Structures are given as C-alpha cells and as structure tokens.
Amino acid sequence: MTAAARAHGLFQHLYGIEPVGVWAAPGRVNLIGEHTDYNDGFVLPFALPHRTAVAADVLPEQRWAVTSELTGETVEFTLDAKVDGWAAYVAGVVWVLAEQGHRVPGARLTVASDVPIGSGLSSSASLECAVLTALVDLAGLDIPIADRPRLAQRVENDYVGVPTGILDQSASILCTAGNALFMDCRSLRTEQIPFDLAADGLAILVIDTRAPHQHAGGEYAARRAACEQAAAELGVAALRDAVPADLDRLSDDLLVRRARHAITENQRVLDTIELLRSGRHREIGPLMTASHASLRDDFEVTVPELDVAVTAALTAGAYGARMTGGGFGGCVIALVDADRVDNVADAVAKAFAEHGFAEPAAFKAVPSAGAGAA
C-alpha cells in the first residue's frame, strides 16, 4: 500500500470520516553538487519514488493535531507552542506560514511515509514539504511553487534549528518525473534536465549503509562555518565566487581543503550537466567518483561504510559512485548497467560483511515527481 493510501486509511480509522485530501512529497538523492548549496553554488538532485503522505481536514479553530503512523502518537499544538521531535517539522510549517502573515487553518493530519528515516534521503524535508503543500491547498493560499522551498528551509533553520541549505526542500518540491533538477542556489534559477538512464541501459543504485549518524549536526555546522570563513578571507560573498587559484591566499591548510571541495564540486556539477545534455550518461561516472574523493579527503564528511560501499561498487563494475546528502553515514549512489544492479548490490553487501558492518539496504532509484496532491 502506498504511503498516501496508508495516511488516508489512518485518517478514516481515527476520525471516522474522509479527509478533505491527501498530499505527498518525496525524498531525494543528489546526483552531484554536495555541500555546495550553502556556498551559493550548484546542485543536481532528483526525487525518489519514496514519499511522505499527509491526509488532512480543517478544524474550525486554530489548533492542530498530527498523528504519525510510525509511532502511533498524536501531537496537538496551538500557534504559539514550541513543539519538539518529529512533530516540529509539522508545527514549523504552521509557524512559518503564520510568520509570513498567512492565515493558517487549524487542521487534523495523519502522516505515513516510505522515505527511510535517518538515511540522508531527506525524510524530514519530505515531511515539511508534504505538510506545506497540504496547508497551502487547504487554506487556498497563493504561494508560488518557486517560493515554497525557501519557506520549508526556514522550518529547518529557524524552527527546528538546523543550519541546512536549500537543496532538500527544493528537490522535494520542484523535481519532476524523469528529470534531475539543476539549481543555482544563489539565483534559485532551476532547469529540468532529462535523466532517462533506462533508455541507455543504465540505472542509479542507492545503497543505504545504515551507518549511524554521529555528530552529524555539529560537523555540518562546522563545515558551513569553515566555508564562510574561507569566503571572508578571500573577500567574496560565497565560495561560489572563488576559483582554484584563490586557494593559495587562504590562511591554513584546513580552509584550503574545505574551499577546494566547494570550488571543484561546483565545476563537477557544470561538467555533469554538459555531459547529460549531450546524452553521454556513462561519462558522468568519473565525476561522481571524483566528488566522493573530494568529500572524503578534502571535506572529510565520509565514514568507513560510505568509502567501502563506493570502492566495492566500483570494483563490481559501477561507472561511478559517491556518497549523497550531508554525509557522516547515509547513502551511496552508484551508476551501473541496469542488468548489473543486483551484482553490484551483492558485492557491496559482501564487502560490508567482510568489514563487520551492518547489512546495507539497496534499491534502484527512478527520478520521480515532486510534491503534490496524492
């Protein structure tokens, strides 16, 4: 059963009536362009078929009740409440809409999700974006699609308190089926890039390392701060504006490595776009692998499970492989021949067993639709 059907069923079960509607938003993988969003750079995510769904109806007064299929818990809150835990992603959407001067109707919501939690596939962004889409529709608010990622990002930054960029929410809202989303995180200009790997006999395999996220929050903030310091030393607004020759002007080796990742990663996104535009899908593999090496050696956000998964996938014949998302655990994506998906997944599982790591999960990722009514 889809997440939408389950959210719908849960609503009927709890309230004995039909919801007004069901809305859903996807998780994502980022093909390339990691830790570039908060440097005003480029990203290239696509949406997963895995979605978080919200069934809802409106209440006559401004209060909200949200029930999670996962925990069975119902959290109730009013406009001025500060909510913690998973429901913060729901309360934060109400908060940001109200803060923007919108009248948000009270609502009862039920949530079900197929996006793996804590795997770096943007389960929290999918929840924020599903709730945002639901409330915008329920209230009939006139908020252009292009403006919505920024609102959802503010839920994360200003309500939940995590200093993430705009990648995840943009992917969840703006991606379309069959395409990757090329986005300039400074201008917020986007372009849908056709990404039909199947036509070329290729596939993207997602490997969830299931490695526990350790210190991810603090380390993420530290990477971001280092990038901002490097930009300040160079006298530019963001590392987006720096070129490799600038690296000589930085005060210490750590900043050089952090900045080198951001600068070279932006170029790899542009190079990937060039190749995709001319249908040279296989040739993006080396760029993916170079991205991983940069994230491992210069940006230092990988963990052994991510590195082992990449090496095992490449050894088993992947054209390229890299971690995707923030790092410190989470997933690897590998570009593989479609008929080799199982071989590569098995090779990674074998390597994990040899290293004494937990068994990884694997699935084939097809570029899917962004948020909308379900």
Draw the binding track, 109-148, toward ligand GLA (x: CB under 6 A; -: no contact). Answer: ----------------------------------------
The single residue among 285, 325, 367, 370 that binds ligand GLA, judged by CB under 6 A, is 325
The answer to whether 168 contacts ligand GLA (rule: CB under 6 A) is yes
Cβ proximity to ligand GLA: between 65 and 238 the closer is 238
The answer to whether 266 contacts ligand GLA (rule: CB under 6 A) is no
Q: How far is the CB of 262 from ligand GLA (least distance, A)?
A: 10
The single residue among 164, 209, 266, 291 that binds ligand GLA, judged by CB under 6 A, is 164
The answer to whether 167 contacts ligand GLA (rule: CB under 6 A) is yes
The answer to whether 45 contacts ligand GLA (rule: CB under 6 A) is no
Q: Which positions are catalytic?
A: 168
Q: How far is the CB of 128 from ligand GLA (least distance, A)?
A: 11
Query: Which of 50-58, 161-169, 229-237, 286-294 is the region at the interface with ligand GLA (rule: CB under 6 A)?
Result: 161-169
Query: Which of 13-21, 55-63, 164-172, 237-245 is the region at the interface with ligand GLA (rule: CB under 6 A)?
Result: 164-172
Q: Count of residues binding ligand GLA (CB under 6 A)?
A: 11
Cβ proximity to ligand GLA: between 33 and 285 the closer is 33
Q: How far is the CB of 103 from ligand GLA (least distance, A)?
A: 29
Cβ proximity to ligand GLA: between 110 and 294 the closer is 294
Q: Which of 365, 366, 364 has its CA nearest to residue 345?
A: 364
Draw the binding track, 25-44, toward ligand GLA (x: CB under 6 A; -: no contact). Answer: -----x---xx-xx------
Query: Which of 162-170, 225-233, 252-260, 313-321 is the region at the interface with ligand GLA (rule: CB under 6 A)?
Result: 162-170
3-class secondary structure for the chain?
CCHHHHHHHHHHHHHCCCCCEEEEEEEEEECCCCCCHHHCCEECEEEEEEEEEEEEEEECCCEEEEEECCCCCEEEEECCCCCCHHHHHHHHHHHHHHHCCCCCCEEEEEEEECCCCCCCCCHHHHHHHHHHHHHHHHHCCCCCHHHHHHHHHHHHHHHHCCCCCCHHHHHHHHCCCCEEEEEECCCCCEEEEECCCHHHCEEEEEEECCCCCCCHHHHHHHHHHHHHHHHHHHCCCCHHHCCHHHHHHCCCHHHHHHHHHHHHHHHHHHHHHHHHHCCCHHHHHHHHHHHHHHHHHCCCCCCHHHHHHHHHHHHCCCCEEEEECCCCCCEEEEEEEHHHHHHHHHHHHHHHHHHCCCCCEEEEECCECCCEEC
Binding positions for ligand GLA, rule: CB under 6 A: 30, 34-35, 37-38, 164-165, 167-168, 325-326
